[in-house]
Amino acid sequence: MAIDVTEDVDHTTGTPGDVLADIDGRRALRGLGGVLVFLLVWTGASLTQPSYVLPTPFAVAETSYAQAASGELFVALGNSVLHWVPGAVFGTGLGIAAGIALAWSPYLDDVSSPVVRVLRPVPPLALVGFAIAWFGINHAGAAFIIAVGAFWINFYATYGGVEGVSEDLLDVARSLGVQGDLDLIRTVVVPASLPEITTGIRTGIGRCWMLVVASEIFGVPGIGRRILRASNNLQVDVVITYILVLSLMFLLVDVAFRALQRRALAWR
Amino acid sequence: MAMNDVTPDEEEAGVPRVRIDGVGKRYEGSNGPVQALEGVSVDVSAGEFVCIVGPSGCGKTTLFRIIAGLESATTGSVSLDGDRVDAPSTDLGLVFQEYHLFPWRTVAGNVGFGLEQTGVAAAERERRVRKLLDLVGLDGFADTYPRDLSGGMKQRVALARALAVDPGLLLMDEPFGAVDAQTKKMLQDELLDIWTETGKTILFVTHDVEEAVKLADRVVVMGKDPGHVRETVEVAVERPRSRSDEAFGATYERVLGLIEG
């Protein structure tokens, strides 16, 4: 049998998983320029103001070093991580599971739709009372606040992804021996909606870092607590130090997750 | 040539591989009920290659979906080897115009999908996938993702994937409708080779009269309003068939006349 496979094959495959492949020199240079301008404007502005309104970048650098050297910074970070991790994990997991279940089953969707609509707009911070009553002033209570935030982002991202799964792919899978909802979900629904699911996870874990501050408002120790306490004492340099720690953590986790996401979605 | 390659058992029993018996389909449309199909009856013997042709709107695709078990008939029934078809199963290998490959799986992953579901061990699976890729001329593309394949190659993968679970019937809905003319001709020749090699029973839906006459043992011509079988035309043309053949031309004109008539 003479089969000729000389049709146009698209060879534009990149190198998935390579984060550095993204960074192009000119963009990086412009970014660096932007940072310099920002620091200059900041310095200029801070020279005209007392330090409790706006400290200089140098003062912040000094404070950051002192906080790190004394170990206080790492203790706060460690405390925050202790509720950030369980909050993100539970919120993400439950959000994805609920998103799949409701998007897959019209019955479950009908049953839960009114409740979902009522609960959806509730800001996590409004649930502080429940966090204290149900879990106490501890890591579990803070994790609860964080989990609520992660839940909705993952729920809606997953729901949208699952809703968009092609009926035709499901038909093909059935004709190839896949039987039952759970097997269809495992073999087709989850892999087909993985782009949306992973985008939800990524957005969610970012949101969890923002919620760290809110989750510590009722007295659980961590970065947020430090920011709130320093704010009360007008220690703006300390506030900025811990804001930078949050940003850095957000950035690190985001870059790491993005690398994972690219690997998982290499087929796209 | 594997024409009418019926095993003695089935011949004795007198049961055709596929029996489409008085199938009708009625929809509730926005302007009242629509009769899409009425009284469609076709028998296909084991090993036979049958094409269904008809103008657009004659219910070909609806018939395809009913035979595949993806939709139910309002009246009548479809049976495969005597068993009624009411849901998709591995007895029916489906090939669609739009391929419907699993984009997150490699070529080998797509072809092996059905074998995984039916519990074939990994080593055996790999062996069979390799054999199928060889059959459709895609050896060397096992680890490629669908996104990097041309239309013709995607359809080869879809064909191999359908063949993997060894279905009793290969059911194809305008499989070569989305590729260019040259690729189409190539894929048709390949399909005939694969048919000869595997002895599969094939039911092939198309709107392309030339394609039907080139491929089929018999061409079922459908008419519309509502969709029904107008006539079945035996294609008594020696294979390999050539368009310039007089018998080919005559059969082509006859089928075309039936569609236009």
**Inter-CA distances, B53 with A71, B98, B166, B210, Å:** 79, 18, 26, 10
Question: Rounded to whole angstroms, how far apart are CA atoms B199 and B91?
Answer: 15
User: Is some CB atom of chain B closer than 8 A to the CB atom of A177?
Assistant: yes
- pLDDT at position A24, please? 77
Instruction: Compute the residue count for chain B.
Output: 261
Q: How far is CA B29 from CA B23, B35, B36, B72, B76, in A?
A: 19, 9, 10, 16, 21
| Chain B hits for A170, Cβ within 8 Å | none
- Taking contacts as CB-CB distances below 8 angstroms, the residues of chain B near A193 are none
- Mind listing the pLDDT tens digit for each residue in B199-258? 999 999 999 999 999 999 999 999 988 999 999 999 999 898 988 899 999 999 999 999
pLDDT in tens, chain A (268 residues): 444 444 444 444 444 445 555 567 889 999 999 999 999 999 999 999 998 999 999 999 999 999 999 999 999 999 999 999 999 999 999 999 999 999 999 999 999 999 999 999 999 999 999 999 999 999 999 999 999 999 999 999 999 999 999 999 999 999 999 999 999 999 999 999 999 999 999 999 999 999 999 999 899 999 999 999 999 999 999 999 999 999 999 999 999 999 999 999 999 8
Separation between Cα atoms, residue A172 and residue A179, nearest integer Å: 12
Label residue A41 exposed, middle or buried (CB < 10 Å: 0-12, 13-18, 19+). Answer: exposed
CB contact under 8 A, B100 and A1: no
Alpha carbon B74 to chain centroid distance? 22
Bridge partners of B24, per DSSP, are B75
Which residue from A minimizes the CA distance to B89? A175
Q: How far is A143 from chain B (nearest CA, A)?
A: 34
DSSP string, B113-142: HHHHHTT--HHHHHHHHHHHHHHTT-TT-T
> Which residue in the set B100, B138, B147 is minimally distant from A268, CB to CB?
B147
Q: Where are the alpha helices (DSSP H) in chain A?
A: 25-47, 57-69, 72-104, 106-119, 128-134, 139-163, 167-175, 181-184, 190-192, 194-215, 223-232, 236-264
Q: Which domains does chain A have, with CATH numbers?
A: 48-264 (1.10.3720.10)
Identify which of A219, A218, A259, A208 has the alpha carbon closest to the alpha carbon of residue A81. Answer: A208
C-alpha span between B31 and B46 (Å, rounded)? 41
Radius of gyration of chain B, Cα coordinates, nearest whole angstrom: 18
pLDDT of A23 reads 65
How far is it, in rounded angstroms, from Cα B79 to Cα A223?
A: 68
Alpha-carbon span A49 to B177, nearest angstrom:
73
Residue-by-residue DSSP string for A26-94: HHHHHHHHHHHHHHHHHHHHHHTS-TTT---HHHHHHHHHHHHHTTHHHHHHHHHHHHHHHHHHHHHHH
B187 min Cα distance to partner chain A (Å): 9
ipTM score here?
0.90
- Most B CBs within 10 A among A7, A175, A265, hence the mutation to make, goes to A175
Flag if A176 and B104 touch (Cβ within 8 Å). no
- Chain A residues touching residue B98 (CB < 8 angstroms): 168
Helices (H) and strands (E) in chain B, counts: 8, 10
Give Cβ neighbours of residue B196 (< 8 Å, ≥ 6 apart): B1, B2
The kind and range of the H/E element at B24 are strand B18-29
C-alpha B91/C-alpha B81 separation (Å) is: 10
Residue-wise over B120-132: b if at least 16 C-beta within 10 A, else e?
beeeebeebbeeb
pLDDT at A21: 55
Q: Which residues of B touch A (CB under 8 A)?
A: 68-70, 87-90, 92-94, 96, 98, 100, 102-106, 113-114, 117-118, 136-138, 141, 145-153, 161-162, 164-165, 183, 186, 190, 193, 197
Asked if A133 reaches chain B (Cβ–Cβ under 8 Å), the answer is no
- Nearest CA-CA distance, residue A191 and chain B, Å: 7
Q: How far is B149 from chain A (nearest CA, A)?
A: 6
From the list A7, A192, A268, the residue facing B152 with the nearest CB is A7
Question: pLDDT tens digit string along B45-94?
Answer: 999 999 999 988 899 999 999 999 999 999 999 999 999 999 999 999 99
* Interchain proximity A9–B148, CB inside 8 Å: yes
| B103, closest residue in chain A (CA to CA) | A267
Is A194 in CB contact (< 8 Å) with chain B? yes
- Cβ neighbors of B207 (< 8 A, separation 6 or more) are B53, B54, B55, B56, B60, B174, B177
Name the residue in chain A with its Cα closest to that of B197.
A1
How far apart CA B19 and CA B41 sit, in angstroms, is: 7
**DSSP type of residue A185:** I
Task: Give the pLDDT of residue A20.
Answer: 57
The residue behind tokens 């008085």 is B22
Q: Do B117 and A188 touch (CB under 8 A)?
A: no
Does residue B21 register a pLDDT over 90?
A: yes
- Two tokens, residue B182: 């040259």
Q: Is A5 on the interface with B (CB under 8 A)?
A: yes
**B103 chain-A contacts, CB cut-off 8 A:** 192, 267-268
Question: B248 and B239 in contact (C-beta within 8 Å)?
Answer: no
Sheet holding B32-44, edge to edge: B32-44, B18-29, B75-80, B83-84
- For B168-209, how does the pLDDT look when each residue is reduced to its tens digit (9 = 90+)? 999 999 999 989 999 999 999 999 999 999 999 999 999 999
Q: Give the number of C-alpha atoms closer than 13 A to the C-alpha of residue A258, restricted to the C-beta side.
A: 13
Contact predicate A242/A77, CB 8 Å: no
> Residue B11: pLDDT above 60?
no
Closest CA to A123 of A215, A242, A209: A215
Whether residue B240 is preceded by a cis peptide bond, meaning omega within 30 degrees of 0, is: yes
Measured between alpha carbons, how far is residue A118 from residues A97, A122, A150, B49 in Å? 19, 8, 17, 58
- Higher pLDDT: A22 or B113? It is B113
CA torsion through residues A104, A191, A254, A222, sign: positive
pLDDT band at B15 (very low <50, low <70, confident <90, very high): confident
